[in-house]
Amino acid sequence: MRKLHIWIIVLILVTQTISPQAFAEIEVDIPVPEFRAALLDIGNMASVDAYANGVELLANVDYSDISENPFEKNIIRMAVQGIAGRQGSEAFYPETEITGFEAMRYLVNLAGGSAAVEAAVLPLTGGLSDESINALYNEQYAAQAIGQGILLQTEYVGLQQAASREQLAVWLSRTIGLAPVAVDLEAVFGFNDYKLVTPANRGTIEALLRAEIMNSGNDGNFNPKGNMTRGEFMEILDAGSELLYDQNGIVVNYGLVTGIQETTSKEIGYTLEERNIIVRNVDGSVTSIRTNENTTSGRQLDFVLYKNNMPFSSKGILVGDEIQYMTRNGALIYAEALKDNVILEKIRVSEAQDGNMTTYFGSIYEILDQQKWKEDYYVNSKRCRVRTYDGQTFDLVVETDLYTGITNDMIVYKDNIVGGIDLLEEGDDISFVVKDNDNVVYVNAIPLWETTVSGTVRYVTMDEETGNSRIEIFGYDDVIYEYPVASYANVTINENYGELSDLLYGQDVTLDLKEGYVINIDSETFTDNPGYIPEYGKVRMGTIYAVYPAGIVFDIGGERYSYEMPSGIPITKGGVSVTRNALKEGDSVKLFFDDIYSDRISKMEVEGVERLIQKVYKGKLGTVNETKQTMTLYEPRYLKNDDWVDTETYSEELTLSDNAQIYIGDLPIALDDLERIYKGQVLYVVVEDSYGDSVASKVSVKSGGENLYTDAIRDIDDALGSMELEDPRINFNITKGTIVVKDSRYIDPSLLTKKDNVLVVSQYADGVYDANVVKLMTRTENIFETVYIGAIEAVGGNYFTLKNWATLDDNEWDDVDDSTSDRIYFHTDSIITDITDSDDPDTIKVADFFHESYARLENEGTDDEGLEYERYYAVVVLEDREDENRSLLAMNMRHKGLLEDQNIDDDLTDIDDIADELDDTLEDMYLTRGIIEEMDDTWERIRITDSNDWMSSVAEWKSNSVDTYVEYPNAIVIKDNEVIDIDDLEVGDSISVLRNDEKALVIFVDTE
């Protein structure tokens, strides 16, 4: 009996000694499914040799005149493929316009016809001059192009001249076998100069544009009859060559350099230095790239590396580089070192395309390091045990051979760093991708997405094969949601524990979700009308992603949808009935359907003035009140046109919207962490007008030095989340925190395109540029600055001056200046109209403008005090030019008054009174922008929908709740820096108008 007591005491002591955590530690012997990184077995990995004659390859890209050219990379990529070559000894001449003969050389090389040309020319070159040999090559390349269907016999004229953009497009299309588009040529017809494109070639150019092989110009024109430089041609040739990769034996892959092994061996008469570059590819495979150099003969296996905007040999590659590499007929010829974390994005793309990839979400709750004897050697095994949100448990295992030191590591992304499993810690929330239910492709350690959704139950289903459950609800926002349910999810009904099977149709529920899995369900059964389906039984809420002539694409919950939208369905915007022409990218919409199974829209509501962006602020974070959902910004400034402007207050208290997004780069920030971690740091904040209340809807934390850049986008890569401007040539990362604004609305970053003119507010930190704010610059930012008013003072042979004049600056009129203006120069194309008789305006020839009496001194009279009167008053529009020359585009003159029925000279004689009268006149003028909804020829007026007026009191564009009407007789109409006829305006045109009440004085047509 005593022994039994002793054993009981011992058992109690042992039990008390073991902590609760000990029971949670990994028990290695428990069978848990394991996932491992792809094996780094040197003997079994794929092996690729660099190009056999690396010296020649490197010499072929050593051009003397491309280092500052924006198409340097394209030139080098074409050179390593043997498509492009030097002109002369060391030059490429990238700025020279490409001729037809030169284009034939490159296109035939691309199509694989160079060997036939060489075979035909080389036997004939003996004793010939360089000029004659070049002519032979031209002849043979043209003949080969005809034989391959690139060039038509009828086109064998003028090939020694610079080729047009349209002709180059047609030749390239034939070379790469790109079929023309037969219908829906919306890209081509979107050009201002589409009529200049030969009708038979429009489908070909449409195909090139859709494939992003060619793009439009900065001004909205395709410029089909213009020319192209040799460098520009390399850009489109590079893009088009991808369609012939298979034909030309080209294979492109992406990977992370995980190791470099170097050996030196001495042979009889020479020394061989060899490097093996170990690359883990985005598909989980591993490749060894072999390079070497014979230090005696200089021959080497090598390839061209493009890194930091410069070409190098393979020795420039380092461990940790993320590379794109290209092989031709099995030999590696080119690699490009990409920016940080590009490989992660490529892995994700590969994952989306590979049906053998599976993504899991979960948390690491234990990590263990251990050593064990495996066959005939010791290995160190590091395992991370993960519990996924669907209730599964896995071990992520990495082993190191302690004899060779080789680690079969996996790619881990954490805290903006790409590394291995050592980055992971207990408690990390992770997503990880597994290939073939075996190898880990990558691990992403980031705070996972959490949210709460409320509504009424529609269905609860279970997959009998997997045992996984799903729930579908009607959200209280009239949106249908469906989610998987984690196996360990808690269910409470009226504050009591329940089961999924207890949930009934129509019950009110609140779902707590983590990374898309329901982890908690709180339900009540007190519903008045379970099972009731309201009028318009299905509702979708989202934003307009893009508006096309053929249809509209919507962004709903991050997914793209295109619904059938019959003509005539009711569309309201801000409570006002509108047509499709009023819809803009970024508009928030609610789509109604007659039943829950239909994809045919029956009604659309668009949030109008309530959701326009008021300001983009920058300031230092003060306090955050989580209860009131407010935060304070100190030293606030706001973005106006292309710079930051001080506010009149030292601080601003901003109310955060219920679904405000807060980011630092790609990382989301919880509201309760904002002040604790980031107090005193600079924030960028978007403030919207939400149904009359100003709310902050997006916050981006600044983490580096700021710079502002304004230029056109040169290149953009949606998959990689980056863009490059024409000048400076900087790669800007587009992150989740990037604020993209167009026409006072959010737009999706994927809608940014090449040639868009943008203002980029960028931060620079750790060698990386992140775009905090991207604002598409429209012509309405400064378009009115070319407008002047005043009285014509003097007229010379090619110029005139104004007295009592004023112009617009940042959409505000300057005070009328009673001095004489600088000279304004007119020319034969200037349009000068006398509208004194508004019913019978008189167009004045420029010679008559000089010779007749339009100047004050030539048309003066005096009263008893000797004061001049009877002037001509004018509305003047100058050409929009980058230089300082004031060149007249158009002018409307009126005798004695600026406006109809205004008789300034009859009513006033004092010069100061005249200035005051003009100041008062300008105060009654409006700036309006919007979309033409109707052209009424009977009443000679335009109905403008989605209109905004400039409000001087707040220095902002404010939306109108009703349509705006303007009368257009005698208005100056400007499009593309040219005067056009009022009949050239079309419904759907975006316009900006200077008006006095309903009378339009100047109309600008937006061509962007």
pLDDT in tens, 59-74: 888 888 898 899 999 9
Tell me the pLDDT band of 959, cut-offs 50, 70 and 90: low
Range list of H helices, 60-113: 72-80, 100-110
Task: Report whether pLDDT(884) > 90.
Answer: no
Residue with more model confidence, 44 or 786: 786
Residue with more model confidence, 822 or 447: 822
In angstroms, the Cα distances linking 199 to 112, 189, 192, 196, 203 are 30, 11, 15, 9, 8
Which of 327, 294, 529, 342 has the alpha carbon at shortest distance from 442? 342
First to last CA, the chain: 96
- Distant-in-sequence, close-in-space partners of 238: CB < 8 Å, separation ≥ 6: 74, 77, 78
Task: Report whether pLDDT(531) > 50.
Answer: no
Which of 489, 449, 497 has the alpha carbon at shortest distance from 469? 489
Per mean pLDDT, which range of 192-206, 311-325, 945-959 is the poorest? 945-959
Sequence-ordered strand ranges (E) for 295-449:
300-301, 304-307, 310-312, 322-328, 331-337, 357-374, 377-388, 393-401, 411-414, 417-419, 429-435, 439-445
> Which residue type is seen at 169?
A
Cα–Cα distance measured from residue 314 to residue 351, given in angstroms and rounded to the nearest whole number: 29
> How many C-alpha atoms does 631 have within 13 Å on its Cβ side?
34
Give the three-class secondary structure for 923.
helix
Cα–Cα distance measured from residue 791 to residue 809, given in angstroms and rounded to the nearest whole number: 19
Give the three-class secondary structure for 618.
strand
State the average pLDDT over residues 733-756: 80
Cα–Cα distance measured from residue 415 to residue 418, given in angstroms and rounded to the nearest whole number: 8
Residue 309 gets the label, from left (phi > 0), alpha (psi -120 to 50) or beta, of: left
Per mean pLDDT, which range of 227-241, 341-355, 849-863, 991-1005 is the poorest? 341-355
Tell me the pLDDT band of 340, cut-offs 50, 70 and 90: low
Cα–Cα distance measured from residue 903 to residue 707, given in angstroms and rounded to the nearest whole number: 51
Q: No. of H helices and E strands in the chain?
A: 16, 62
Residue with more model confidence, 624 or 947: 624
Angle between helices 230-241 and 100-110 (to 10 degrees): 20
Please give the structure tokens belonging to residue 850: 């000089």
> Which residue type is seen at 266?
K
Task: Report whether pLDDT(87) > 80.
Answer: no
The DSSP letter of residue 562 is: E
State the average pLDDT over residues 603-627: 78
Confidence at residue 258, expressed as pLDDT on a 0 to 100 scale = 75
Tell me the pLDDT band of 508, cut-offs 50, 70 and 90: confident
CB-count exposure of residue 661 (10 Å: 0-12, 13-18, 19+)? middle
Please give the structure tokens belonging to residue 565: 């939208």
Cβ–Cβ under 8 Å, residues 970 and 832: no
Cα–Cα distance measured from residue 837 to residue 894, given in angstroms and rounded to the nearest whole number: 8
Per mean pLDDT, which range of 171-175, 296-300, 643-647 is the poorest? 296-300
Q: What percent of the chain has pLDDT over 70?
A: 82
Please give the structure tokens belonging to residue 265: 């061996």
Instruction: Select the highest-mean-pLDDT range: 822-836, 864-878, 883-897.
Output: 822-836
The pLDDT tens digits for 558-591 are 778 888 777 778 887 656 667 776 777 777 788 8
Cα–Cα distance measured from residue 271 to residue 293, given in angstroms and rounded to the nearest whole number: 8
Count of other CB atoms within 10 angstroms of residue 36: 18
Confidence at residue 451, expressed as pLDDT on a 0 to 100 scale = 78
Which of 893, 906, 920, 896 has the alpha carbon at shortest distance from 1001? 893
State the average pLDDT over residues 692-713: 85
Confidence at residue 233, expressed as pLDDT on a 0 to 100 scale = 95
Per mean pLDDT, which range of 96-110, 116-130, 381-395, 452-466 is the poorest? 452-466
State the average pLDDT over residues 454-481: 78
Tell me the pLDDT band of 539, cut-offs 50, 70 and 90: confident
State the average pLDDT over residues 306-312: 89
Confidence at residue 627, expressed as pLDDT on a 0 to 100 scale = 79
State the average pLDDT over residues 143-149: 94
Residue 896 gets the label, from left (phi > 0), alpha (psi -120 to 50) or beta, of: left
Confidence at residue 478, expressed as pLDDT on a 0 to 100 scale = 66
Extract long-range pairs of 843-846: CB within 8 Å, 24+ residues apart: 844/893
Cα–Cα distance measured from residue 432 to residue 411, given in angstroms and rounded to the nearest whole number: 10
Task: Report whether pLDDT(991) > 70.
Answer: yes
Task: Report whether pLDDT(530) > 50.
Answer: no
Task: Report whether pLDDT(863) > 50.
Answer: no
Pairing, β 888-895 against β 872-878 = antiparallel
Confidence at residue 448, expressed as pLDDT on a 0 to 100 scale = 64
Cβ–Cβ under 8 Å, residues 276 and 250: no
Secondary structure in 3-state letters for 871-914: CEEEEEEECCCCCCCCEEEEEEEEECCCCCCCCHHHHCCCHHHH
Average pLDDT across the chain, whole number: 81
Instruction: Answer whether the bond into residue 728 is a cis peptide, omega within 30°.
Output: yes
Confidence at residue 234, expressed as pLDDT on a 0 to 100 scale = 95
Task: Report whether pLDDT(139) > 90.
Answer: yes
Confidence at residue 864, expressed as pLDDT on a 0 to 100 scale = 45
Per mean pLDDT, which range of 87-101, 408-422, 749-763, 957-971 is the poorest? 408-422
State the average pLDDT over residues 716-734: 82
Confidence at residue 21, expressed as pLDDT on a 0 to 100 scale = 34
Task: Report whether pLDDT(994) > 90.
Answer: yes
Q: What are phi and psi of 437, to 5 degrees?
A: 55, 35
Cα–Cα distance measured from residue 803 to residue 454, given in angstroms and rounded to the nearest whole number: 67
Q: What percent of the chain has pLDDT over 90?
A: 28
- Distant-in-sequence, close-in-space partners of 115: CB < 8 Å, separation ≥ 6: none
Confidence at residue 764, expressed as pLDDT on a 0 to 100 scale = 85
Confidence at residue 790, expressed as pLDDT on a 0 to 100 scale = 93
Count of other CB atoms within 10 angstroms of residue 928: 20
Which of 370, 369, 350 has the alpha carbon at shortest distance from 359? 350
Task: Report whether pLDDT(521) > 60.
Answer: yes
Task: Report whether pLDDT(15) > 60.
Answer: no
Cβ–Cβ under 8 Å, residues 205 and 196: no
Task: Report whether pLDDT(518) > 90.
Answer: no
The pLDDT tens digits for 21-58 are 333 344 445 567 889 876 555 556 788 999 998 888 88
State the average pLDDT over residues 406-417: 75
The pLDDT tens digits for 178-201 are 999 887 788 888 888 888 999 999
Cα–Cα distance measured from residue 616 to residue 632, given in angstroms and rounded to the nearest whole number: 15
Confidence at residue 14, expressed as pLDDT on a 0 to 100 scale = 34
